[in-house]
């Protein structure tokens, strides 16, 4: 399991525990003191939480939209829990789309004056305004007359505070989770190399929305975990162009760097390196490299990883080095799932490249079934 997956799981368990404790103590006490409606407390709580969740989804993305505008970025997509408004060449269109975030995602493209500080910080400003309004309602409910609507508004405000606080804390955890949260963006903005790479990455994602071929991502030789991730995108683009020499040069620069790079990323580098070698060098030479330079952890990663880059390597290793028809068939059985993770704009090129992989294996083993 990746480090960010572990962090995400631990944090969600903590959030669940906090929510249960708050429900059994603070909220339960508030119901006992304030609640006098004939409506079931459970039904009331569910209604408030559903409405609060929907509101906060939209509210947070509106904060990102305003932050993008303040930071001189162009908004091209607003996604609120899969409901997505996207800017296309023919105009804005409403539909559904995946997102990289807890509850939604606002995608941008950069201009010459773009900065991401406001984009990242604006949800905090919006949360502060929401919190202030809820505190006022809750305070008013404490002294409101019996049967006053302010009594149930006070409890709703308390539930709203708990929900919005959980969401904002999750959004600003300063680590890379399974999603691209604002806390991780903020940690990237503190380092100039990462800040520039983050803007390039968000511009890249925004241009994918517009169905443009992303340009402007350059190989970054100031290696951090994030810039290496970006560099692997550049490597993949070189591979799809069949510019294997360029791809190898970039891979070796990252591999030989003395910078501290996450082990997961190092394994991805090795997976791509093996692919380039298998596509360009004599099998005996690659087998010698594989036996002497690729360790067990890296081999296991290549065989288990679900991304198409590693799957190509796995198929070639199975077919050209291990001569295992079973493992080749196993690799091919996973390719459709891997293709689903590819950006649509590159999907056809990825499929064509995989066909070349299959063809290369068949050249050595013409008797094997495709």
DSSP track, 297-345: HHHHHHHH--SHHHHHHHHHIIIIIS--HHHHHHHHHTHHHHHTTS-GG
Domain identity same for 179 and 222? no
Is 196 a domain residue?
no
Quick one: what percent of the chain has pLDDT higher than 90? 50
- Is 153's pLDDT higher than 60? yes
Is 207 a domain residue?
no
User: Residue with structure tokens 């119901």?
Assistant: 31
- Is 267's pLDDT higher than 90? yes
| pLDDT of 366 | 87
Is 234 a domain residue?
yes
Domain identity same for 303 and 178? no
Please write the tens of the pLDDT for every residue from 297-336: 999 999 999 899 999 999 999 999 999 999 999 999 999 9
Structure token digits, residue 249: 């040069």
Q: If DSSP codes are grouped into helix, strand and coil, which group holds residue 3?
A: helix
- Is 152's pLDDT higher than 50? yes
Domain identity same for 106 and 248? no
60 within 8 A of 105, measured Cβ to Cβ = no
Among 185, 208, 238, give the residue marking a domain's end.
185
Domain identity same for 150 and 293? no
Domain identity same for 27 and 126? yes
Tell me how far apart the alpha carbons of residues 86 and 106 are, in angstroms, rounded to a whole number: 10
Please write the tens of the pLDDT for every residue from 83-140: 899 887 778 888 888 888 778 899 999 988 999 999 999 999 999 999 999 899 888 8
313 within 8 A of 275, measured Cβ to Cβ = yes
- Is 285's pLDDT higher than 90? yes
Q: If DSSP codes are grouped into helix, strand and coil, which group holds residue 115?
A: coil
Among 185, 206, 233, give the residue marking a domain's end.
185
308 within 8 A of 327, measured Cβ to Cβ = no
**13 to each of 6, 170, 342, how far by Cα in Å?**
11, 12, 30
Which among 82, 81, 51, 77 is positioned nearest to 64, based on CA atoms?
Answer: 77
Is 200 a domain residue?
no
- Is 62's pLDDT higher than 70? yes
Count, residues in the chain: 370
- Is 209's pLDDT higher than 90? no
- Is 42's pLDDT higher than 70? no
Quote the domain boundaries for residue 260: 218-364
Average pLDDT, integer, range 156-185: 84
Average pLDDT, integer, range 51-57: 87
Average pLDDT, integer, range 53-82: 92
| pLDDT of 208 | 84
Q: How many separate domains does the chain show?
A: 2
Is 333 a domain residue?
yes
CA 311 to chain centre: 20
Mean per-residue pLDDT of the chain? 85
| Residue 2 banded pLDDT, cuts 50, 70, 90 | very low
Is 198 a domain residue?
no
Among 163, 185, 207, give the residue marking a domain's end.
185
254 within 8 A of 289, measured Cβ to Cβ = no
Tell me how far apart the alpha carbons of residues 125 and 195 are, in angstroms, rounded to a whole number: 21
Is 201 a domain residue?
no
Please write the tens of the pLDDT for every residue from 173-201: 887 777 788 999 999 998 888 998 899 89
Burial of 81 (0-12, 13-18, 19+ CB in 10 A): middle
Domain identity same for 164 and 231? no
């Amino acid at each position: 399991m990746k480090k960010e997956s572990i962090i995400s799981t631990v944090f969600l368990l903590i959030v669940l525990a906090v929510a249960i404790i708050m429900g059994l103590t603070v909220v339960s006490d508030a119901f006992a003191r304030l609640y006098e409606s004939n409506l079931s407390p459970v039904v009331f709580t569910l209604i408030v939480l559903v409405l609060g969740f929907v509101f906060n989804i939209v509210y947070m993305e509106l904060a990102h939209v305003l932050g993008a505008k303040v930071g001189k970025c162009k908004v091209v997509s607003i996604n609120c829990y899969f409901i997505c408004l996207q800017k296309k060449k023919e105009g804005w269109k409403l539909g559904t789309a995946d997102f990289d975030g807890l509850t939604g995602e606002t995608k941008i493209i950069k201009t010459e004056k773009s900065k991401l500080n406001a984009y990242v910080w604006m949800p905090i400003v919006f949360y502060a305004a929401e919190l202030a309004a809820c505190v006022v309602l809750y305070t008013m409910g404490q002294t409101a007359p019996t049967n006053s609507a302010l009594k149930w508004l006070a409890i709703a405000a308390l539930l709203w505070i708990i929900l919005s606080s959980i969401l904002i804390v999750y959004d600003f955890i300063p680590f890379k989770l399974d999603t691209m949260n604002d806390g991780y963006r903020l940690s990237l903005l503190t380092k100039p190399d990462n800040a520039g790479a983050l803007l390039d990455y968000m511009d890249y994602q925004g241009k994918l929305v517009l169905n443009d071929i992303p340009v402007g991502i350059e190989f970054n030789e100031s290696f951090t975990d994030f810039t290496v991730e970006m560099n692997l995108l550049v490597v993949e683009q070189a591979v799809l162009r069949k510019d294997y020499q360029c791809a190898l040069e970039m891979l070796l620069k990252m591999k030989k760097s003395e910078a501290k790079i996450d082990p997961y990323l190092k394994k991805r580098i090795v997976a791509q390196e093996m692919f380039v070698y298998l596509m360009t060098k004599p099998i005996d030479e690659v087998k010698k490299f594989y036996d002497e330079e690729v360790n067990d952890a890296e081999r296991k990663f290549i065989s288990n990883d679900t991304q198409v880059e590693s799957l190509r390597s796995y198929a070639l290793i199975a077919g050209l080095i291990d001569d295992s028809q079973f493992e080749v068939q196993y690799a091919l059985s996973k390719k459709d799932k891997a293709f689903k993770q590819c950006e649509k704009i590159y999907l056809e090129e990825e499929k064509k490249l995989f066909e070349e992989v299959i063809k290369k294996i068949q050249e050595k083993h013409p008797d094997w079934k495709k």
